[in-house]
Amino acid sequence: MSASLALGDIFRAAGPAWRSAHAGRLPLQQLKVMSAIEHCRTAALGGHVAACGDCGHWRIAYNSCRNRHCPRCQGNAARTWLAEREADLLPVGYFHVVFTLPTRIADIALQNKAVLYALLFQAASETMMTIAADPRHLGARIGITAVLHSWGSALTHHPHVHMIVPGGGLSPDGRRWISSRPAFLLPVRVLGKLFRRLFLTRLRALFDADRLAFRGQLAPLADRRAFMRYLAPVRGRRWVVYAKPPFAGPKAVLAYLSRYTHRVAISNRRLLAFNEKGVTFRYKDYRRDTAH
């Protein structure tokens, strides 16, 4: 493995030919990201002189692109995010909650990222707030820190939302704190049912408003009857929601999330080799308990 291999090196070497081969088929946003990463910390972005006031040694430091997709620019941003979120933690127990989209819905989300990722956040947060406010469960107004993960450990598309939720909330009148049970926040089956209903109802509304696009193998779903048949299996299936106290405490979960709030899927640390045959990188497949 080359310790110095970086995504920018690969983009600079193979980017021009790849863009030429896919001319006219690449979104402008992807082209802008590639350009930023290629030029990051090079003379193309300019630079400044860093000098030591004691010994007089100086060097030229080229400017960073600061693009959120650049693996070289997100370390400081992640540390800042983590410090700010840790400062928000209350002196109470916390729970780690995860809402995941079924595979069939994830396939639609892959072609409609902005719309369905927003819906995922809305449906998940509304589910938590609604069930928590129900007097039959917690009967309180809760707070949530939520982060979207759009890929899984194997680097395949796997959209899900991680939440850090305090073990309790304010009473409806805002005058007292209502604590949850030590190892139980809210019933996951109830959360899953409401999440499914909210998401599917609004997904159908997005379809009826002509806000969804379908390409390739999903192109037939542009027909409403085909779309409804496609959704039929997930309407009757249980949508799994994970909710447990974090084993190592809330700070450990925040640290885990911070690595994803400011990081791309294939970071420089995953890169193993780059040659005329392609790029080799490392990933983890937890279903097989192996690294590849």
Q: pLDDT tens digit string along 193-221? A: 999 999 999 999 999 999 999 999 999 99
What is the percentage of the chain residues whose pLDDT exceeds 70?
A: 90
175 pLDDT above the threshold of 90? yes
* Region 126-146 average pLDDT: 95
Which pLDDT value is given to residue 1? 41
* Region 40-57 average pLDDT: 81
Cα–Cα distance measured from residue 217 to residue 185, given in angstroms and rounded to the nearest whole number = 40
Which pLDDT value is given to residue 221? 97
* Region 25-47 average pLDDT: 85
The residue assigned the tokens 């209502």 is 178
75 pLDDT above the threshold of 70? no
* Reduced DSSP (H G I as helix, E B as strand, rest coil) percent helix, strand, coil of the chain, to 5: 45, 20, 35
Considering 86-100, 121-135, 248-262, the range whose residues carry the highest mean pLDDT is: 121-135
Q: What's the pLDDT tens digit per position in 214-234?
A: 999 999 999 999 999 999 999
- Name the pLDDT band for 40 (thresholds 50, 70, 90): confident
Cα–Cα distance measured from residue 150 to residue 79, given in angstroms and rounded to the nearest whole number = 21
**Pick from 134, 160, 137: nearest CA to 148:** 160
Domain boundaries, the chain: 1-74+266-292, 85-262
Which pLDDT value is given to residue 291? 52
* Region 103-120 average pLDDT: 95
Which pLDDT value is given to residue 107? 95
Pair 285, 154: CB distance under 8 Å: yes
DSSP 157: E
What is the percentage of the chain residues whose pLDDT exceeds 90?
A: 44
* Region 262-289 average pLDDT: 74
285 pLDDT above the threshold of 80? no
* Region 97-121 average pLDDT: 95
Residues in Cβ contact with 254 at an 8 Å cutoff, skipping those fewer than 6 apart: 82, 85, 86, 89, 145, 164
